[in-house]
Amino acid sequence: MTNLSRFALLSLLSGTSTAFTVLPSQQNHHRPLSASATTDFDLNSYLLSKKEVIEKALDASVESLTPETDKICESMSYSLMAGGKRIRPVLCIAACEMFGGSEADAMPTAVALEMIHTMSLIHDDLPAMDNDDLRRGKPTNHKIYGDDVAILAGDALLSTSFQHVAQNTPSTIDPHRILDVVIRLGKSVGPVGLAGGQVMDLECEGKSDVTISDLTWIHTHKTATLLQVAVASGAILGGATEEEVKSCERFALDIGLAFQVADDILDVTASTEDLGKTAAKDLDSDKATYPKLLGLEESKDEARRLVEDAKASLAPYGERAAPLLAIADYIIERSN
């Protein structure tokens, strides 16, 4: 392990949730920029350039070193390398670069975020959860490797994500910042993260008295939390102050909820071929969704409102926020 100081490592092992403290010498003093990002930012080119290096880093992150680990590593890689938009890694890198950090600074955390997200998809698709046969246009992990190996592959991706951050984040990053990232990643999966959101989601299936407040709680924790950690972690690794991290968290919470509203809309408006997964699955499962509670047009209005609120949180960063602002728009304009 290369980067964690003895103090930071002991804090991590003992479960101490010590957030980093920004010292005066660590603060970034940014030159004021215009309140709006450039309007001619080429998001497609940006996403393609980032996706290429992200895919290489993901492919190198899971490697079987002995014949005994071939099957579990194959299962991990099957889902990790199954495609997808890689929004979480891109958000992490873009936030890091916005505060003066580099792609290399953020890449280990970007990979970890995609590992955690992939774990959640593997487990979501299991018969005990959503019981889905298709993910990103391919058979789900448990359909190829069985429920038992799929569960273990998800577990292995989760544990490897933390190891990857600790081992591979450049030694130039303050160890307390790395520790803060690891703590945030752990929290994002727990009872006030993915796991808690998923439990609440399951409990609300088939209920007629689910409220918008319930639905917002579910998706704040099940969907938005990991996006929030992606942006906040990138900012932390890039050298952001605590107030700047909070601005990024507000932005990411709003786009995370917008992402879920858009997903709910696509579930009832897009085809299985377009989605790469079973369409109308939420409707068939009698899940609470935004269109079900608000109506389709009102849901579209809510997604747009969330994106506008998100973009306002990054107004002080001007053109440096262009990639993040463009991604916010993309989230509600996408077709899958």
Residue 125 has pLDDT above 70, yes or no: yes
Task: Report residue 15's pLDDT band, with 50, 70 and 90 as the boundaries.
Answer: very low
28 belongs to a structural domain: no
215-242: per-residue pLDDT in tens? 999 999 999 999 999 999 999 999 999 9
Residue 13 has pLDDT above 50, yes or no: no
Q: Which domain holds residue 116?
A: 36-333
Distance between CA atoms of 335 and 324, rounded to whole angstroms? Answer: 19
Task: Report residue 206's pLDDT band, with 50, 70 and 90 as the boundaries.
Answer: confident
Q: For all residues of the chain together, what is the average pLDDT?
A: 87
29 belongs to a structural domain: no
CA angle at residue 54 from 147 to 123, to 5 degrees?
Answer: 15
Average pLDDT over residues 55-60: 97
Task: Report residue 166's pLDDT band, with 50, 70 and 90 as the boundaries.
Answer: very high
Query: Got the DSSP string for 246-283?
Result: HHHHHHHHHHHHHHHHHHHHHHHHS-HHHHTS-TTHHH
3 belongs to a structural domain: no
22 Cβ partners below 8 Å, 6+ apart?
241, 242
Closest to 265 in 3D by CA, of 291, 287, 247, 283: 291
Residue 276 has pLDDT above 70, yes or no: no
Give the H or E element holding residue 138. strand 138-139
3-class DSSP assignment, residue 136 = coil
77 belongs to a structural domain: yes
Cα atoms in the 13 Å half-sphere on the side-chain side of 171: 4
255 Cβ partners below 8 Å, 6+ apart?
224, 227, 306, 307, 310, 327, 328, 331
Report the predicted TM-score, pTM, of the whole model to 2 decimal places.
0.84
320 belongs to a structural domain: yes
pLDDT above 90: percentage of residues in the chain? 75
Question: What single-letter amino acid sits at 160?
Answer: T
Domain count, the chain: 1
Contact call for residues 160 and 111 (beta carbons, < 8 A): no
State the residue for tokens 């998923």: 198
3-class DSSP assignment, residue 208 = coil
8 belongs to a structural domain: no
Assign residue 251 the CATH number of its domain: 1.10.600.10
Give the H or E element holding residue 182. helix 175-189
19 belongs to a structural domain: no
Average pLDDT over residues 305-316: 96
Tokens read off for 188 = 């994002």
pLDDT of residue 26: 38
323 belongs to a structural domain: yes
